[in-house]
Each structure stands twice: as C-alpha cells, then as structure tokens.
C-alpha cells in the first residue's frame, strides 16, 4: 500500500522519483514555461497560412481528405515549403486536424 502524503513536500525525495515525474513537477510548479515546450516537429504552415483552408471551409466549401491534401500540397509548393515531388501525406493531415 502507498503511503499517504498531505503535500508534495512530505513525499519521497526528488532523487527517488522517476525522471518523468520530476519533469511533471517542474511544469506544474511553473518552473517551465508551457508555451515554450512543444513535442514533435514544427508546423509546416503558420496560423495565417492555415487560415486559407479554414476560411474556405467556413464559406461552405466542405473538403474531403483528398481535397485538403491536394490544396495544402499545392499551397506548400507555392510557399516553397515543399516541392511537387513530395506532396503532403495522411500523417500530415492527421496532425493538421
């Protein structure tokens, strides 16, 4: 049975905790700026560049997956973030949604 602690200061010493719990404590205590910590690759498009697809959807153009990938790939080529030989993938689409 786990011991009951009324605060994190009464708990086990930090060197006894797994590293992942120490990182969690740093995030919860405010030592780490949550807005500066990101996992995964950086987004391909900026918020302004993504706004094009969102605006089209709001105007009533309901795009399917294939159309979104085609338009986004063409947009990436136009913005010189991709070349035509390497279109965006379903993995990008899942991250975008």
Any idea where the domains of the chain sit in the sequence? Answer: 47-96
Cβ-contact 68, 53 below 8 angstroms = yes
Higher model confidence: residue 6 or residue 38?
38
Measured CA distances, 75 to 16, 26, 45, 60, 70 (Å): 51, 40, 9, 20, 9
In this prediction, residue 11 has a pLDDT band, given cuts at 50, 70 and 90, of low
Q: Is the pTM of this model over 0.85?
A: no
| Range name among 17-21, 70-74, 92-96 with the lowest pLDDT average | 17-21
How do residues 36-77 score in pLDDT, each as one tens digit? Answer: 666 777 777 888 888 877 787 777 767 788 888 888 899 889
């Amino acid at each position: 049975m786990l011991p009951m602690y009324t605060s994190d200061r009464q708990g086990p010493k930090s060197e006894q905790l797994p590293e992942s719990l120490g990182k969690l404590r740093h995030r919860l205590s405010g030592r780490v700026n949550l807005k500066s910590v990101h996992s995964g690759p950086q987004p391909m498009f900026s918020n302004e560049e993504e706004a094009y697809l969102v605006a089209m959807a709001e105007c009533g153009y309901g795009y399917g997956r294939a159309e979104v990938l085609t338009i986004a790939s063409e947009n990436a080529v136009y913005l010189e973030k991709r070349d035509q030989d390497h279109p965006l993938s379903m993995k990008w689409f899942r991250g975008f949604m």
